[in-house]
Amino acid sequence: MKVKLAMSEVKVDYSLYLVTDRKWLRERDLGQSIELAIQGGVTLVQLREKAISTREFLELAIKVKEITSHYRIPLIINDRLDIALAIDADGLHVGQDDFPLKRARELFGPHKIIGVSASTIAEALLAQQQGADYLGVGAVFSTSTKTDATEVSLDQLKIIKKSVTIPVVAIGGINETNLRQVLDTGIDGVSVVSAILAKKDILMAAKQFKNMLGSEFRF
């Protein structure tokens, strides 16, 4: 009898972590854009929606889950535990002011992926202690995607990475020109938004990013 492993029991590839933001798509379809990004090399998708109703978010999440499931790419829901539960998402990402991690773990289950945003060593260590599977650390560069994000220097990012044992994904303003600097900190992956979704050719943009990552990450 085959036993289906929970997503958190499988080695997750955090190397090219796409976070959605439809404002960059310029009327292009989100589902098709995500599929192109996955075909180009994206290894994980976070669905982030701050300005739509719960019903709209749910309907969108169902469609995106069909795509990510087809390619066997983990789907992380940003902030909304109710949506993550409703579609049986692979994971949930919460910020410091979002749903409490400990309670989210209780409700979401022990085998789901839960990531936490962190900008200090204290936040990172607490998230790890409370059971986070990975950290999103930043913003390492200024970004228009999240204007209220706390800035984290590359030196701070390196220190946070060395302070924890769980994977660290760098977030905030990462693109082709500054990627090398970020990789030199030893992190486990990079989170990108406009560097892929704002490009005219999303498939090629993702492929170029994946090629730049090269053999830095092995899973």
Q: Where are the alpha helices (DSSP H) in the chain?
A: 30-40, 54-70, 81-86, 101-108, 121-129, 154-163, 179-183, 194-197, 202-213
**Catalytic hit among 15, 33, 48, 112:** 48
As a whole number of angstroms, the distance between CA 7 and CA 3 comes to 12
**Catalytic hit among 15, 33, 117, 119:** 117
Four-residue CA torsion sign, 60, 66, 71, 75: positive
As a whole number of angstroms, the distance between CA 172 and CA 139 comes to 4
Tell me whether residue 146 is one of the annotated catalytic residues: yes
Tell me whether residue 117 is one of the annotated catalytic residues: yes
SS3 16: strand
Q: Which amino acid appears at position 16 of this protein?
A: L
Vertex 89 angle, CA 87 and 94, to 5°: 115
**Catalytic hit among 80, 146, 161, 207:** 146
As a whole number of angstroms, the distance between CA 32 and CA 67 comes to 9
Tell me whether residue 28 is one of the annotated catalytic residues: no
Catalytic sites, residue numbers: 48, 117, 146
